Amino acid sequence: MKIAVFAGDGIGPEVTGEAVRVLEALGLPGLALTYGDVGGAAWRRHGHPLPEETLAMARASDAILFGAVGDFACDHLERHLRPEQAILGLRKQLGLFANLRPAKMFAGMEDASALRPEISGAIDLLIIRELNGDVYFGEKGVRTLDDGRRQGWDLMSYAEDEVRRIAHVGFRAAMGRRKMLCSVDKANVLETSQLWRDVVIEVAAEYPEVTLSHMYVDNAAMQLVRNPGQFDVIVTGNLFGDILSDQASMCVGSIGLLASAALAEGSMGLYEPIHGSAPDIAGKGLANPMAAILSAAMMLRHSFDLEAPAARIEAAVAEVLRAGIRGADLGGSHGCRAIGDAVLARL
């Protein structure tokens, strides 16, 4: 179990530290952790957010535990040197195209949701976000028009094979759950989305048991707060998935609770909280490490096929929440270390 740990910027090191403590406490045979630099931290030390040695370490590993990247001090840098390029580069270089972002209401957490308890109580959904294409990786730039005005531009595109492979991930996930798949697009305006929809419909023929629906992204954003219980699996493109998953996090209480997996074709995966580096609270011990800890659980499940210890971690986190131990993100007073301690105690 060779795991590369890339803690990154801001609260990344704090929350990843707690996830590592949890992993080590399980006493799994063969666990071997190596540490590498990413993001603004890597830029400071090596002049690049994703140094060659970090990428090599990632390639030599079975899975990656990732913290967060983002640093205001780097906002003036050319785009290819900004911290975010670390995560985008890893996703692309390692072919991590399928992003699983589950959002499930933990028992007793209904009051923390931004939604009324009778609405939030039913949330158990999985957002599957395509991670290697879309406007994220298209050509982009700023050009000067003939009349002298500056114009920013980013190309949105999806090739059919890219849509097909993420659609399969969506349908397979739905088969293992409540057998409902909602494909989210903007086919009423975008050609990229019309092709997306056409291809998803083609793939659906291979999964007759799954009920497929389609939703425009604006409506999906609305339905996520109106009636999130209607969703089982959502499959969508890179940009829409980025936005909807942040929104889903507040529906279940806090972005500090949402873990994610970015998977390649085989067993390789990168596991990270969906939250960012939160520079405002970095280094203060205030961050909630639960999303990082739950990301470690996803790693055991998806890259190492270790369902039992993954479920143990998730049960421990659920118990801690049930006991009313909460971080500041959930209106509580427990710090990062204290929450890690509480999870370890339950384990």
The footprint of ligand IPM (CB under 6 A) covers 70, 84, 87-88, 242, 274, 276
In the residue annotation, 158 being an active-site residue is answered as no
Using CB distances below 5 to 8 A depending on partner kind, what does residue 130 bind out of ligand IPM, Mg ion, none?
Answer: none
Q: Nearer Cβ to ligand IPM, position 71 or 242?
A: 242
Residue whose CB is nearest to ligand IPM in the complex, by number: 84
Q: Is 3 exposed, middle or buried (CB count within 10 Å of its CB: 0-12, 13-18, 19+)?
A: buried
- Residue 172 CA to residue 233 CA, distance in Å, equals 10
Using CB distances below 5 to 8 A depending on partner kind, what does residue 17 bind out of ligand IPM, Mg ion, none?
Answer: none
CB of 240 to ligand IPM, least distance (A): 11
Catalytic hit among 62, 104, 179, 246: 246
Using CB distances below 5 to 8 A depending on partner kind, what does residue 84 bind out of ligand IPM, Mg ion, none?
Answer: ligand IPM
Closest CA to 243 of 184, 195, 291, 299: 184
Q: With b meaning 16 or more CB within 10 Å and e meaning fewer, what string describes 54-78?
A: bbebbeebbbbbbbbbbbeebeeee
Q: Nearer Cβ to Mg ion, position 203 or 224?
A: 224
In the residue annotation, 242 being an active-site residue is answered as yes
Catalytic hit among 9, 37, 134, 136: 136
In the residue annotation, 35 being an active-site residue is answered as no
Catalytic hit among 75, 111, 198, 218: 218
For 21, the enclosing helix (H) or strand (E) is helix 12-25
CB of 276 to Mg ion, least distance (A): 7
x/- contact string, 228-267, with Mg ion (CB under 5 A)? --------------x-------------------------
In the residue annotation, 136 being an active-site residue is answered as yes
Q: Are 124 and 104 in contact (CB under 8 A)?
A: yes
Q: Are 83 and 8 in contact (CB under 8 A)?
A: yes
Q: Nearer Cβ to ligand IPM, position 7 or 325?
A: 7
Closest CA to 279 of 54, 6, 8: 8
CB of 31 to ligand IPM, least distance (A): 26
For 316, the enclosing helix (H) or strand (E) is helix 307-322
- Residue 284 CA to residue 336 CA, distance in Å, equals 9
Catalytic hit among 9, 71, 134, 186: 186
What contacts 271, CB < 8 A, 6 or more positions away? Answer: 63, 64, 65, 66, 259, 260, 261, 262, 295, 296, 298, 299, 302, 303
CB of 172 to Mg ion, least distance (A): 24
Kindly list the residues in this chain that would bind Mg ion in the complex (CB under 5 A). Answer: 242
Catalytic residues: 136, 186, 218, 242, 246
